[in-house]
Protein backbone atom coordinates (compact mmCIF):
# COMPACT_ATOMS: atom_id res chain seq x y z
CA UNK A 1 0.00 0.00 0.00
CA UNK A 2 0.87 3.67 -0.09
CA UNK A 3 3.59 4.71 2.33
CA UNK A 4 4.66 8.15 3.48
CA UNK A 5 8.06 8.34 5.12
CA UNK A 6 8.43 11.22 7.57
CA UNK A 7 11.77 12.29 9.01
CA UNK A 8 13.03 12.92 11.53
CA UNK A 9 10.81 11.06 13.97
CA UNK A 10 11.98 13.32 16.75
CA UNK A 11 14.18 16.37 17.01
CA UNK A 12 15.40 18.64 19.77
CA UNK A 13 16.59 22.10 18.78
CA UNK A 14 17.64 25.28 20.46
CA UNK A 15 15.37 28.28 20.58
CA UNK A 16 15.94 30.54 17.58
CA UNK A 17 17.11 27.83 15.20
CA UNK A 18 15.21 26.34 12.28
CA UNK A 19 14.13 22.76 11.81
CA UNK A 20 13.15 20.99 8.61
CA UNK A 21 10.75 18.06 8.52
CA UNK A 22 10.52 15.94 5.39
CA UNK A 23 7.74 13.78 4.07
CA UNK A 24 8.31 11.49 1.12
CA UNK A 25 5.75 9.39 -0.67
CA UNK A 26 7.58 6.16 -1.42
CA UNK A 27 5.44 4.40 -3.97
CA UNK A 28 2.98 6.94 -5.25
CA UNK A 29 2.77 10.53 -6.35
CA UNK A 30 1.40 12.88 -3.73
CA UNK A 31 -0.13 15.79 -5.56
CA UNK A 32 -1.53 17.18 -2.33
CA UNK A 33 0.07 17.11 1.10
CA UNK A 34 -1.54 18.19 4.34
CA UNK A 35 0.44 19.29 7.39
CA UNK A 36 -1.04 18.89 10.85
CA UNK A 37 0.00 19.86 14.31
CA UNK A 38 -1.08 17.85 17.30
CA UNK A 39 -0.88 19.06 20.87
CA UNK A 40 -0.71 16.53 23.72
CA UNK A 41 -3.98 14.69 24.14
CA UNK A 42 -5.64 16.86 21.53
CA UNK A 43 -6.84 16.49 18.02
CA UNK A 44 -5.00 17.22 14.82
CA UNK A 45 -5.07 20.82 13.72
CA UNK A 46 -4.64 21.36 10.00
CA UNK A 47 -1.89 23.88 9.40
CA UNK A 48 -1.68 24.02 5.66
CA UNK A 49 -2.32 22.28 2.39
CA UNK A 50 0.33 22.11 -0.28
CA UNK A 51 0.10 21.17 -3.91
CA UNK A 52 3.09 20.20 -5.98
CA UNK A 53 4.62 23.19 -7.68
CA UNK A 54 2.46 25.84 -6.08
CA UNK A 55 2.34 27.85 -2.90
CA UNK A 56 0.83 26.30 0.17
CA UNK A 57 -2.55 27.35 1.47
CA UNK A 58 -2.43 28.10 5.17
CA UNK A 59 -5.28 27.78 7.63
CA UNK A 60 -6.40 30.82 9.51
CA UNK A 61 -4.11 31.70 12.37
CA UNK A 62 -1.09 29.80 11.06
CA UNK A 63 1.95 31.99 10.40
CA UNK A 64 3.14 31.24 6.90
CA UNK A 65 6.49 32.96 7.47
CA UNK A 66 7.15 30.79 10.48
CA UNK A 67 6.01 27.48 9.02
CA UNK A 68 7.49 27.30 5.55
CA UNK A 69 6.12 24.57 3.35
CA UNK A 70 7.72 23.47 0.13
CA UNK A 71 6.25 20.90 -2.20
CA UNK A 72 8.75 20.95 -5.02
CA UNK A 73 8.13 17.46 -6.35
CA UNK A 74 5.40 14.88 -6.46
CA UNK A 75 7.19 12.77 -3.86
CA UNK A 76 8.60 15.30 -1.42
CA UNK A 77 7.10 17.95 0.81
CA UNK A 78 8.92 19.76 3.58
CA UNK A 79 7.89 21.83 6.58
CA UNK A 80 10.47 24.19 8.03
CA UNK A 81 9.84 25.69 11.42
CA UNK A 82 11.82 28.91 11.38
CA UNK A 83 13.20 30.64 14.45
CA UNK A 84 11.67 27.98 16.64
CA UNK A 85 10.49 28.79 20.14
CA UNK A 86 9.39 26.51 22.98
CA UNK A 87 5.74 27.10 22.11
CA UNK A 88 6.40 25.47 18.75
CA UNK A 89 7.12 22.21 20.51
CA UNK A 90 4.55 19.77 19.25
CA UNK A 91 3.90 16.64 17.21
CA UNK A 92 3.80 17.38 13.49
CA UNK A 93 2.19 14.97 11.06
CA UNK A 94 2.02 15.04 7.29
CA UNK A 95 -0.64 13.36 5.21
CA UNK A 96 -0.59 12.72 1.50
CA UNK A 97 -3.70 12.55 -0.53
CA UNK A 98 -3.39 9.57 -2.81
CA UNK A 99 -4.43 9.94 -6.38
CA UNK A 100 -7.77 8.72 -7.55
CA UNK A 101 -11.11 9.96 -8.70
CA UNK A 102 -13.93 10.11 -6.20
CA UNK A 103 -12.81 7.72 -3.52
CA UNK A 104 -9.26 8.85 -2.95
CA UNK A 105 -7.55 8.21 0.36
CA UNK A 106 -4.96 9.62 2.68
CA UNK A 107 -1.70 8.21 3.92
CA UNK A 108 -0.15 9.63 7.05
CA UNK A 109 3.46 9.93 8.01
CA UNK A 110 4.53 8.59 11.38
CA UNK A 111 4.94 12.07 12.81
CA UNK A 112 7.78 14.23 14.12
CA UNK A 113 8.11 15.12 17.77
CA UNK A 114 9.68 18.59 17.93
CA UNK A 115 11.04 19.85 21.22
CA UNK A 116 12.44 23.38 21.36
CA UNK A 117 14.65 24.11 24.35
CA UNK B 1 -18.27 25.22 9.00
CA UNK B 2 -17.94 21.47 9.06
CA UNK B 3 -17.11 19.88 12.39
CA UNK B 4 -16.81 16.56 14.18
CA UNK B 5 -17.62 15.86 17.81
CA UNK B 6 -16.50 12.76 19.67
CA UNK B 7 -17.31 11.52 23.11
CA UNK B 8 -14.87 12.56 25.77
CA UNK B 9 -12.39 10.04 27.00
CA UNK B 10 -10.61 8.28 28.32
CA UNK B 11 -12.59 5.11 27.96
CA UNK B 12 -11.38 2.27 30.14
CA UNK B 13 -12.65 -1.23 29.50
CA UNK B 14 -11.80 -4.75 30.50
CA UNK B 15 -10.70 -7.18 27.83
CA UNK B 16 -13.60 -8.69 25.86
CA UNK B 17 -15.94 -5.85 26.78
CA UNK B 18 -18.15 -4.14 24.21
CA UNK B 19 -16.93 -0.82 22.87
CA UNK B 20 -18.85 2.18 21.60
CA UNK B 21 -17.26 5.51 20.80
CA UNK B 22 -19.77 8.11 19.74
CA UNK B 23 -19.17 10.47 16.86
CA UNK B 24 -21.47 13.08 15.38
CA UNK B 25 -20.81 15.54 12.63
CA UNK B 26 -22.01 18.78 11.13
CA UNK B 27 -21.45 19.25 7.45
CA UNK B 28 -22.74 20.61 4.22
CA UNK B 29 -23.94 17.74 2.13
CA UNK B 30 -22.97 14.15 2.80
CA UNK B 31 -19.25 13.89 3.35
CA UNK B 32 -17.24 10.69 3.53
CA UNK B 33 -16.61 9.63 7.12
CA UNK B 34 -13.58 7.94 8.61
CA UNK B 35 -12.24 6.41 11.77
CA UNK B 36 -8.50 6.59 12.34
CA UNK B 37 -6.43 4.99 15.09
CA UNK B 38 -3.23 6.35 16.57
CA UNK B 39 -0.88 4.24 18.64
CA UNK B 40 1.52 5.97 21.04
CA UNK B 41 4.18 8.00 19.24
CA UNK B 42 2.90 7.10 15.80
CA UNK B 43 0.96 8.69 13.00
CA UNK B 44 -2.60 7.83 12.08
CA UNK B 45 -3.81 4.66 10.47
CA UNK B 46 -7.10 4.33 8.67
CA UNK B 47 -9.35 1.96 10.56
CA UNK B 48 -12.49 2.15 8.43
CA UNK B 49 -14.54 4.47 6.31
CA UNK B 50 -17.96 5.00 4.77
CA UNK B 51 -18.68 7.14 1.77
CA UNK B 52 -22.46 7.37 1.73
CA UNK B 53 -25.50 7.11 3.94
CA UNK B 54 -26.25 3.67 5.41
CA UNK B 55 -22.81 2.39 4.43
CA UNK B 56 -21.14 0.27 7.07
CA UNK B 57 -17.39 0.38 7.36
CA UNK B 58 -15.67 -2.51 9.06
CA UNK B 59 -12.15 -3.67 9.81
CA UNK B 60 -10.44 -5.79 12.47
CA UNK B 61 -13.73 -6.36 14.28
CA UNK B 62 -14.57 -2.65 14.39
CA UNK B 63 -17.71 -1.35 12.69
CA UNK B 64 -19.36 2.01 12.09
CA UNK B 65 -22.52 2.86 10.16
CA UNK B 66 -23.08 6.17 8.38
CA UNK B 67 -26.37 7.50 9.76
CA UNK B 68 -27.48 10.64 7.98
CA UNK B 69 -30.68 10.91 10.01
CA UNK B 70 -28.72 11.34 13.21
CA UNK B 71 -25.53 12.66 11.54
CA UNK B 72 -23.57 10.02 13.39
CA UNK B 73 -20.83 7.50 12.76
CA UNK B 74 -20.38 5.64 16.03
CA UNK B 75 -17.54 3.16 16.34
CA UNK B 76 -18.28 -0.26 17.83
CA UNK B 77 -16.46 -3.46 18.59
CA UNK B 78 -17.96 -6.49 20.21
CA UNK B 79 -14.95 -7.68 22.16
CA UNK B 80 -11.96 -5.43 22.73
CA UNK B 81 -8.41 -6.60 23.30
CA UNK B 82 -5.51 -5.04 25.15
CA UNK B 83 -3.90 -4.37 21.78
CA UNK B 84 -6.82 -2.08 20.87
CA UNK B 85 -5.59 0.47 23.40
CA UNK B 86 -4.98 3.62 21.39
CA UNK B 87 -6.48 6.99 20.49
CA UNK B 88 -9.36 6.89 18.03
CA UNK B 89 -10.26 9.80 15.78
CA UNK B 90 -13.45 10.31 13.86
CA UNK B 91 -13.09 12.47 10.76
CA UNK B 92 -14.98 13.78 7.78
CA UNK B 93 -13.74 14.79 4.38
CA UNK B 94 -14.83 18.26 3.41
CA UNK B 95 -16.69 18.31 0.12
CA UNK B 96 -14.55 20.62 -1.96
CA UNK B 97 -11.74 20.43 -4.48
CA UNK B 98 -9.10 20.01 -1.79
CA UNK B 99 -10.81 17.33 0.26
CA UNK B 100 -9.18 18.09 3.57
CA UNK B 101 -10.03 16.06 6.64
CA UNK B 102 -11.56 17.52 9.76
CA UNK B 103 -10.96 15.51 12.90
CA UNK B 104 -12.80 15.09 16.14
CA UNK B 105 -10.89 15.62 19.36
CA UNK B 106 -9.95 11.98 19.72
CA UNK B 107 -10.95 9.39 22.29
CA UNK B 108 -8.39 7.48 24.27
CA UNK B 109 -9.22 3.82 24.80
CA UNK B 110 -7.47 1.82 27.46
CA UNK B 111 -8.18 -1.89 27.66
CA UNK B 112 -7.12 -3.70 30.79
CA UNK B 113 -6.41 -7.43 30.93
Residue B24, SS3 per DSSP: strand
Of B42, B43, B104, the CB nearest to A43: B104
Rounded to the nearest angstrom, the minimum Cα separation between B13 and chain A is 19
Confidence of residue A103 (pLDDT cuts 50, 70, 90): low
Find the mean pLDDT for residues A91-108. 78
Closest listed residue to residue A52, CA positions, set A72, A80, A27? A72
Q: What is the mean pLDDT of residues A78-91?
A: 96
Concatenating the DSSP letter of every residue in B62-105 gives EEEE-BTTTTB--EEESS--GGG-EEEEEEEE-SSSS--EEE--
Test B99 with A97 for CB contact under 8 angstroms. Answer: yes
Q: What distance in Å separates the CA atoms of residue B92 and residue B75, rounded to the nearest whole number?
A: 14
Q: How confident is the model at residue A100 (pLDDT cuts 50, 70, 90)?
A: low
Whether B105 sits inside 8 A of A34 (CB atoms) is no
Nearest to A103 among B42, B51, B101 (CB): B51
For residue B40, what pLDDT is reported?
A: 82
- Helical residues (DSSP H) of chain A, grouped into ranges: none
How does residue A27 score in pLDDT terms, banded at 50, 70 and 90? confident
Among chain B residues, the shortest Cα distance to A51 is held by: B98
Q: Check pLDDT > 70 for residue A2.
A: yes
pLDDT score for B33: 96
Q: Taking CB atoms and an 8 Å cutoff, what residues of chain A touch B46?
A: 105-106
Q: Which residues contact A100 (CB under 8 A, 6 or more apart)?
A: none
Pairwise CB contact (< 8 Å): A108 & B104: no
Reported as a pLDDT band with limits 50, 70 and 90, residue A34 is: very high
Q: Using the beta-carbon criterion (under 8 Å), do A106 and B101 form an inter-chain contact?
A: yes
Q: What is the pLDDT along chain B (113 residues), one digit of tens a residue?
A: 899 999 888 999 999 999 999 999 999 888 999 999 998 877 889 999 999 999 999 999 999 999 999 999 999 999 999 999 999 999 999 888 788 899 999 999 999 99
**pLDDT of amino acid A62:** 95
Tell if the CB–CB gap between A106 and B106 is shorter than 8 Å: no
Task: Name the minimum distance, in Å, from the CA of A88 to any CA of chain B.
Answer: 18
Q: What is the DSSP letter of A99?
A: P
pLDDT of A104 strictly over 70 = no
Q: Do A44 and B41 touch (CB under 8 A)?
A: no
CB contact under 8 A, B100 and A34: yes
Q: How confident is the model at residue A99 (pLDDT cuts 50, 70, 90)?
A: low
What is the rounded average pLDDT for all residues in chain A?
Answer: 90
Query: A83 vs chain B: nearest CA distance in angstroms?
Result: 25
Amino acid sequence: GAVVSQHPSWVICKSGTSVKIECRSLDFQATTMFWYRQFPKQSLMLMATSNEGSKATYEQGVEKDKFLINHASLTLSTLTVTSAHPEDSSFYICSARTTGTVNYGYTFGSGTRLTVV
Amino acid sequence: GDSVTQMEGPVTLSEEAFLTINCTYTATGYPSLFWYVQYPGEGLQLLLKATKADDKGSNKGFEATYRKETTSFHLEKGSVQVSDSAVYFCALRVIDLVGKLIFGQGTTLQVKP
